[in-house]
Structure 1
Amino acid sequence: MLLTTKFLKPATDARAVNRTRLHRRLDPAPQKRVNLVVAPAGYGKTTLVSQWSGGLTGRVAWLSLDENDNSPRRFWQYVIGALNDAGLPGTEDVAQRLGSYEDHEMDGAVAGLINALTQSTAPISLVLDDLHLIADPGIQRQLGYFIDYLPPHVTVTLTSRVEPELPLDRWRVRQWISDIQPQVLAFSEAECRYFFRDYMDISLSDDDAHRIWQQTEGWVAAMQLTALSGHDTASTAAKPQLLEVGGQPITRYVFSEILDRQPADIHDFLVDTACTPRLSGSLADAIRASRDSQTYLERLIQQNLFLIPLDTKNEWFRYHDLFRDALLQRARTRDPERLTLLEQRAVAWLLEHNHVQEAIAQIITQEDWDRLATVLEQHGNNLIQGGFHLPVLEWLETLPADIVINRPQLLMVRIWALFFANRLSPIEPLLSEVEDILDRRVADSHPDAEGALALHNELSLVRSYIARSKNDDKSAADLTQQVLKEIDHTQIPLKSVTYYGLGLDYFGQGELDAAEEALDASVRYGQLERKPSTVLSSGGLLAWIQYNRGEIDQALDTCTQVRRWVDDHFYDPQQPRLISCWQNSTLVEIYRERNEKELAEANLLPLLDHLKSGTEPGQHVIIQQVRGHLAFSEGDYANAMTALEDAEAVARRRREHIVFEPPASSALLARCYLAANDVGKARAWLDNWQISPSTSPLNKDLNAISAARIQIRLGQPDQACEALSRLVGKANASSNSRLLIEVLLVYASALAAKGQVEEAQHLLEQAFAHGAECGFLQIFIDEAAPLKALMLKTPGIQTPGRWYTRLRGLLEQEIGSSKAPSGRTGHDSALVEPLSQREIEVLALINEGLPNKEIAVRMSVAATTVKAHIRNLYGKLGVGSRTEALARARQVGLL
């Protein structure tokens, strides 16, 4: 049971200053998605937001968070509960489905909530108060995902004592976020007077308050400096020193009124630890060569000496920027050589504790180019694997040319960064340059022979990937095998990337057992070598193979385990989440096949975002393939064909830049032509499908199946049977259950077309058995209506068991809805856009008088999905109600 008091907006303190001028910053705007109010305790964050939300006309959902909400399921229960308490329709269904999701599937619940929010276009404001109490990385990632895909009429307002672990910089670049930081909470003259008199307990005349406000320009931190200047705050006659804001006046003030008044040990601690923007006890110990820094940090917090916590555990801090500037000036003046030593110690600690990017930022600030080159040589590959290939390229560009000359390892870092950025053309000359350097070293008897061997292996590995992009499979395989022979003699971690290349080769050749073995090795070595990109890619392709072999549960487990490892070790909320197209595509396919469309769409959304931002052509093809497949299963053949035709075009146009053969979009495109009754395009496809034969055995088989489908439609079942009989044996031999099920289904269709019904049903029962064992469902539902009708008449469909019961229900639903007149055969020519198959099904059920919830049960989908179909249906029919929809449907011949 939820505590409804958490949904109550706090009552506004009558004494609180009304911050009307800040309310405009919080008001909804066309592009804005987030309000972020960040300030220490007592800055009036909750009061400000409470005052603002009280003046809104739309729905306001308020949630006061506490420490007990720090688990994903409870957090989203309360978020959904707050929206439900505010009267948002559709949240009851989302709340009910929340309990059915596993922890690793919580993205499905978030996607369902997003869908519910799209049901209305009225303004909605969701306030999450005290977000700093939520530290769970999973919740932070899910909240980032939620905000990434919010509909435009929803605004989320967050209050926190520290900046939350969310991709704030990315949102700021996109102008999604409105910040109110402590400096924005600066007071007006009246607020300044209130601050000193009531909060700081310093009695001021109106003239004094006016002068302080003018000098500080309402900046709260400057007022705090004034209040801490040592005056007797109890005396009503005491007046703070007037203060010029910025530059030397602030510095002199810090020196004279704060720093020089501290005990010697505090003074030295402040000056020594100003050399780094962020500070922890351990880092401060390393800088100072001491063991007592945490105690000093706690003393500074107690004394309010401008040390700002960066988390809720008092582990990380920063000094106020102006305060730190003054401390650095003191350090440079007092002992510049010591400051340099302290800066070097800080960088060394950051590197040792894997804060590499922060260390690089400090090195660049210090303009220590030799050290930057060395750090990039040592850490560049791991940064690239972590998804930071573009920053690595930028850092390399900052290096003077004379630093880069004759440093082959640095050149290899540039090569890998270019490779991951899909900039292949500059790589070849760089490879030659590295080879020339290594040859000269050999000629000069350079002492680093092992390093030269390792670099030669890296060169071979890069050349193997380039060979794959040029369809030179033999060279790619030879180079990979060459690296494998030498790999144990080098110290450079190359095994994961090498085995991934080997897995790609075996996958392309159709040797799935060998591919799985190589990819499994790549995942294991990638975890040891701490290469998250390789782990994701290898694990994703491994799961793709497992899925296509019918091992759905194992594929899902592979995805879950790999994702968990990457998130546990490499999740950075300030950077986009690492995405593997193979892995997300596999999850889309798994959930599509299980008829769990919301989860499929939840995994597709990041891929579409990836697509918009521009991705390499191989990934582009995969994304469009699974996007088209999902649309096909939903009966949206127009959008399916658009995605698949784009996939085909990119695969042809950019073939030389794709290091593997993508999935067979052409085979699915042929099915779309048949489903849309475009026999002309299907016939043209059949005439041309073997002109550019596929090199992938799996793609060849899928294309051959689609060719058989078209032959059946054209009245040539004998030719189809001849090809399908060969494919049955091949699919059995390869242990590819998904391929075998599809072959059996199409073969049954061909036999039924020849009048051999009993033989057809025998094949269908074999397909049922494999489907029940593997958990495939959608593959049966995607077949044409005549074959689905035959499935229902096949005795084996009555086999007891949950899978058979669900399949029967889905088939009966499909057959029942298919009796409604089709919207694709001319009846809806008067419509701007034809109805999809799912929309026709919904229309037929509306005609039966069923409410939304019963329609959802009949269709085995969520109620929010039904509402989305109805909304689309209304739009296409140009109506606003059920009665109008039914009248219009009859008018155009749909009913």
Structure 2
Amino acid sequence: MEFVSLARAKIQVPRFRRGLVERSELEQQLGHALTNRRLVLLVAPAGYGKTAALSRQLLRLPPGCAFAWLTADEEDDLQRFLAHLVEALEPMDPPWRLAPEALFDLLTQGRLREAAFALASTLEATDTPDRGLIVLDDLHAVADAHVFEFLDHLLNGLPQNWTLAISTRVEPPLALWRWRARREVAEFDETILRFSMTEVQALLRGATGQHDPEQAAQLLDRTQGWAAGLCLSLDASKGAAAPRVHKASLHNRRHLFEYLANEVFQDLPDELQEFLLRCALLPELTVSRCRQISGNPRATELLEDLERRRLFTSVLDSEELTLRLHDLFRDFLEERLRQLHPADVPALLRCAAQGETDPVRRTAMYLRAGAWDEAQQGLIEATPAMLTDDKGAQIMRLVEQFPVDIQAQSPVLAYVRGWCAWPDYQYGAVRSAMAHAAIGFDARERPADAQRARAMQALATLFCGEMEEARRQSQVVRSGAMDLETEALSELLDFWYETRHGPSGGPGEHLARMVDLLARAGSAELWLRCMPRINMVISRPGVSTQIQRLVYGARAAAGEGHWSLQASANLMEAWLFLWQGRLAELRVALQNIEEDSQWLGQPAGLRIRLLTLKIYYQVICDDKDAVRTTRDAIAAHAALLDRGSELALIFLGTIVKTSAAIGDWPTVRMHVPALDHRVGHDNPGMQMVLRCFKAQLALHDGRIGEALTALRELATSSASVDTNSLDATVRTHLALAELADGSPSAAWQALVPLIERVRASGNVGQVLVMGLQTLTELSLAPWGQAAPSEGLAVLRRWVETARSFRAAVQVMPRDEAADDAGLSHRELEVLALLAGGQSNKVIARALDLSPHTVKRHVARILDRLGVDSRMQAAAWYRARHGG
């Protein structure tokens, strides 16, 4: 049997029983509003038929209208709300230009206006020939104020051919005055939604087959046209006198629940009563889940009986019978359950949580049950997948729902907090949280969890610049038993340790072992956690080969989703192209990664790593203005990093290094004192980088002896701790210093190890990033007999390769009409099917892709064609390829 997923249940239009009374006047007004106003509000207490009126009206929309339906619930914060709204829009195949997942990052950063604008822009480009409609049902259930702030922004940017319809029990906290002043809102309150005398008579006639104006008048008087009260009265009157409903107490919750108890619930068979009470804790009622929570093997028959009785239920489309209870009835049942069986509620909530697939709902159920341990365990199990899908903010909101004392004491929640801080490079927070987690796990005799926490603590300590303390912590971890994850993290730490302390081949060996472990662990999140900045060590022996393995493994782990992991893999491969001098592939990769970054909403972590790649590419191209622009962007990003992390130092080093490569010595001179002040003595790698910068300055200033002394000393160990082409920088500038000192033989001897290493590895990029000026100066130097002819030929080839990079920047744009705008073969296949009117899902099936991948292809197609909608893209294709 097929279970109804949370997303499907929330985005399905409820189906109500046939034979509902025609309410032509209401339906005419509502239909006109839905196709002519920006905002339609249905605001009335429970039971006034808001949902039924909207669902009926959707069946009457003109053929060219498209709609999305979302039923809100109490677990909806803004991220969850938006996730399901995106899912509801999917049948329209909206042409996303920004990954829907990237909208969540914007929300996390508080950029609600930008997220709303991105959604509004997508709606505007969506092919809706007549009109588009978004229906938000039960919006009163939402407590997150950010949802309403987002909706205000969305309304501001909502395209003219779109309408937002809201059903709620209370007026939503939106800027309604704005839309009222512009006469762009249509409002339906209880005075409009209540049944008229004519409609009550029709309802009575349909229920009894009799025309009885007097009874209809009594019904109207007692219920004041309240739809739920009318239906209840008519159902109850079938076997007895019509019940008394006091209109003064009609909407009083206590009196209403008394009425439901006396006139509805008590007339049900005992078995059905007990079944309903226990199943009311479920958001949707399916046979399998109802059987699980009620323990009643006759769940199928009882659900069918409930559907026949038409008791405040709507039906959801599924192969398995699935009902949703009206909020009013569910609230009554849950209150009744707590009155009659209070001791059973926690166990029932636990049972409901065990069958829930959505981690947010599952955790919320455990929290309502006071099942703190189960809630924590469920959360930590859900965290890897949620982090890989960029849902760290949702995880943190779940953490904040635990009682304050548990938040303070729980090692699980501490671990989750540290885990969520890792992708944002908040290494100080990671270290503190993981230290707390490790102590707590030890106290609870959970050694494997404590080991993982200590491995993360050690890595965070290393990235806070405390190398020896990190090494000590890692050795403690290695002295005990380790699972695959802990061992992979330990290999990552040893990789970084030997990157800075040697031996030269150590990082490659540890990286090989780490990749082996990642492949065995099979966790996309763990690949993503371990990948950043590995490229810094690309010059070391064996590292390029392992980076290629890392790229292949990460792509396999990402599959057809996990865009952040795919982007990281693409970025890592682009470093290989740069280091190997593969210009054509690098240019394509840079374009693809720029598109990846745009698709993901320019996430800060990916963006700064992309900027680092770009600035080295621009150095090779000798594009000095581009280097300065990118350098400023890197500085702006680095300023936002955790001050307890050494990353800010690394990026400052990149700024100084690239400034020196283009001969911008004032910038080098400005930043070196800041580096000198911040680099600690326990960071030997950065100490060497700093000494290299000072030596370059001395050489530029003509202090040849000072430069020679420093560079000769650095050359004795730069190869064993080579990061970010440190050894190439030391040796090329040592050669220049020796030449300036009149010693061409010593200069050539300084270059020989570098030339041999480049020849053996093919990694010419490590010398290209020295800059065209430095390479040209070396190739034209007065070498005399000191340099062999084949060696000089190598220097000239380096210069020619760098010039080919610069020439590529100056190439005129390609004739897009002749080469299909640079679309790949796969993108042309997607476009051909799109032009044939196929949906994303059909295209995915035809090409054996996931719908998410098709969505990404469509975004690239629109970007490269410079069009806004699928319709325009289809027209472009037909104009060139026929059909």
- TM normalised by structure 2 equals 0.56
Q: Cα–Cα, structure 1 residues 593 and 518, in superposed 2: closer, same or farther, change >3 Å?
A: same
Verify: 1:645 aligned to 2:632, yes or no.
yes
Counterpart among 525, 529, 533 of residue 537 in structure 1 = 529
* Equivalent-residue separation in structure 1 for 2:59 and 2:625 (angstroms): 49
Verify: 1:701 aligned to 2:694, yes or no.
no
Q: Cα–Cα, structure 1 residues 706 and 420, in superposed 2: closer, same or farther, change >3 Å?
A: same
Task: Give the Å deviation of 1:707.
Answer: 7.3
Cross-structure match for 2:175: none
Counterpart among 270, 279, 299 of residue 273 in structure 1 = 279
Task: Give the Å deviation of 1:324.
Answer: 0.4
Cross-structure match for 1:45: 58
Q: Which moved more, 1:401-410 or 1:478-487?
A: 401-410
Q: Cα–Cα, structure 1 residues 507 and 323, in superposed 2: closer, same or farther, change >3 Å?
A: farther
Contact 1:471 1:656 in 2 (8 A): no
Counterpart among 620, 625, 644 of residue 657 in structure 1 = 644
Task: Give the Å deviation of 1:325.
Answer: 0.8
The residue type paired with residue 43 of structure 1 is R
Task: Give the Å deviation of 1:372.
Answer: 0.8
* Equivalent-residue separation in structure 2 for 1:215 and 1:23 (angstroms): 35
Cross-structure match for 1:174: 150
The residue type paired with residue 593 of structure 1 is L
Task: Give the Å deviation of 1:468.
Answer: 0.4
Q: Cα–Cα, structure 1 residues 296 and 172, in superposed 2: closer, same or farther, change >3 Å?
A: farther
Verify: 1:730 aligned to 2:725, yes or no.
no
Verify: 1:599 aligned to 2:606, yes or no.
no
Cross-structure match for 1:514: 509
Pairing of 1:423-572 with structure 2 (within 5 A): 451=445, 453-454=447-448, 457-458=451-452, 460-488=454-482, 494-505=486-497, 511-524=506-519, 526-527=521-522, 532-538=524-530, 549=544, 557-564=552-559, 567=562
Task: Give the Å deviation of 1:541.
Answer: 6.2
* Equivalent-residue separation in structure 2 for 1:318 and 1:566 (angstroms): 31
* Equivalent-residue separation in structure 1 for 2:376 and 2:518 (angstroms): 24
How much is the aligned-residue C-alpha RMSD, in angstroms?
A: 6.5
* Equivalent-residue separation in structure 1 for 2:279 and 2:420 (angstroms): 34
Task: Give the Å deviation of 1:269.
Answer: 1.8
Q: Cα–Cα, structure 1 residues 218 and 390, in superposed 2: closer, same or farther, change >3 Å?
A: farther
Task: Give the Å deviation of 1:270.
Answer: 1.3
* Equivalent-residue separation in structure 2 for 1:213 and 1:623 (angstroms): 68
Contact 1:231 1:240 in 2 (8 A): no
Contact 1:271 1:330 in 2 (8 A): yes
Contact 1:285 1:291 in 2 (8 A): yes
The residue type paired with residue 564 of structure 1 is G
Cross-structure match for 1:85: none
Contact 2:736 2:778 in 1 (8 A): no
Verify: 1:586 aligned to 2:585, yes or no.
no
Identical columns (%): 13
Cross-structure match for 1:359: 362
* Equivalent-residue separation in structure 2 for 1:313 and 1:715 (angstroms): 82
Question: Tell me, what secondary structure is at the counterpart of 1:180?
Answer: strand
Q: Cα–Cα, structure 1 residues 670 and 283, in superposed 2: closer, same or farther, change >3 Å?
A: same
* Equivalent-residue separation in structure 2 for 1:865 and 1:606 (angstroms): 10
Verify: 1:338 aligned to 2:365, yes or no.
no
* Equivalent-residue separation in structure 2 for 1:635 and 1:210 (angstroms): 88
Q: Cα–Cα, structure 1 residues 399 and 212, in superposed 2: closer, same or farther, change >3 Å?
A: same
Deviations 1:219-270 (A, max 9, x none): 8x7488459736689xxxx999897346234424433454344444333221
Deviations 1:314-360 (A, max 9, x none): 5765422211011122223333333444234334x24xx66554333
* Equivalent-residue separation in structure 1 for 2:87 and 2:437 (angstroms): 56
Question: Tell me, what secondary structure is at the counterpart of 2:481?
Answer: helix
Task: Give the Å deviation of 1:49.
Answer: 7.4
* Equivalent-residue separation in structure 2 for 1:142 and 1:564 (angstroms): 16
Cross-structure match for 1:322: 328
Contact 2:778 2:795 in 1 (8 A): no
* Equivalent-residue separation in structure 2 for 1:215 and 1:132 (angstroms): 45
Q: Cα–Cα, structure 1 residues 652 and 365, in superposed 2: closer, same or farther, change >3 Å?
A: closer
* Equivalent-residue separation in structure 1 for 2:428 and 2:417 (angstroms): 13
Counterpart among 594, 597, 622 of residue 609 in structure 2 = 622
Contact 2:725 2:766 in 1 (8 A): no
Cross-structure match for 2:855: none
Deviations 1:182-201 (A, max 9, x none): 55996873895698789998
Q: Cα–Cα, structure 1 residues 336 and 766, in superposed 2: closer, same or farther, change >3 Å?
A: same
Contact 1:377 1:410 in 2 (8 A): no
Pairing of 1:800-819 with structure 2 (within 5 A): 811=808, 817=811
Contact 1:171 1:177 in 2 (8 A): no
Question: Tell me, what secondary structure is at the counterpart of 2:690?
Answer: coil
Verify: 1:259 aligned to 2:265, yes or no.
yes
Cross-structure match for 2:295: 289
Contact 1:744 1:764 in 2 (8 A): no
* Equivalent-residue separation in structure 1 for 2:259 and 2:490 (angstroms): 60
* Equivalent-residue separation in structure 1 for 2:411 and 2:402 (angstroms): 15
Contact 2:293 2:348 in 1 (8 A): yes
* Equivalent-residue separation in structure 2 for 1:46 and 1:296 (angstroms): 30
Verify: 1:306 aligned to 2:312, yes or no.
yes
Contact 2:431 2:461 in 1 (8 A): no
Q: Cα–Cα, structure 1 residues 604 and 328, in superposed 2: closer, same or farther, change >3 Å?
A: same
Task: Give the Å deviation of 1:751.
Answer: 6.1
Q: Cα–Cα, structure 1 residues 556 and 663, in superposed 2: closer, same or farther, change >3 Å?
A: farther
Q: Cα–Cα, structure 1 residues 17 and 586, in superposed 2: closer, same or farther, change >3 Å?
A: farther
Would you say how many aligned residue pairs link Structure 1 and Structure 2? 666
* Equivalent-residue separation in structure 1 for 2:618 and 2:37 (angstroms): 40
* Equivalent-residue separation in structure 1 for 2:690 and 2:417 (angstroms): 40
Structure number with higher relative contact order (C-alpha < 8 Å, ≥ 6 residues apart) = 2
The residue type paired with residue 273 of structure 1 is C
The residue type paired with residue 520 of structure 1 is V
Contact 2:524 2:557 in 1 (8 A): no
Cross-structure match for 1:691: 690
Cross-structure match for 1:803: none
The residue type paired with residue 586 of structure 1 is M
* Equivalent-residue separation in structure 2 for 1:631 and 1:227 (angstroms): 78
* Equivalent-residue separation in structure 1 for 2:762 and 2:394 (angstroms): 44
Task: Give the Å deviation of 1:272.
Answer: 1.4
Q: Cα–Cα, structure 1 residues 546 and 565, in superposed 2: closer, same or farther, change >3 Å?
A: farther
Deviations 1:386-419 (A, max 9, x none): 4376666666666667768987667666665676
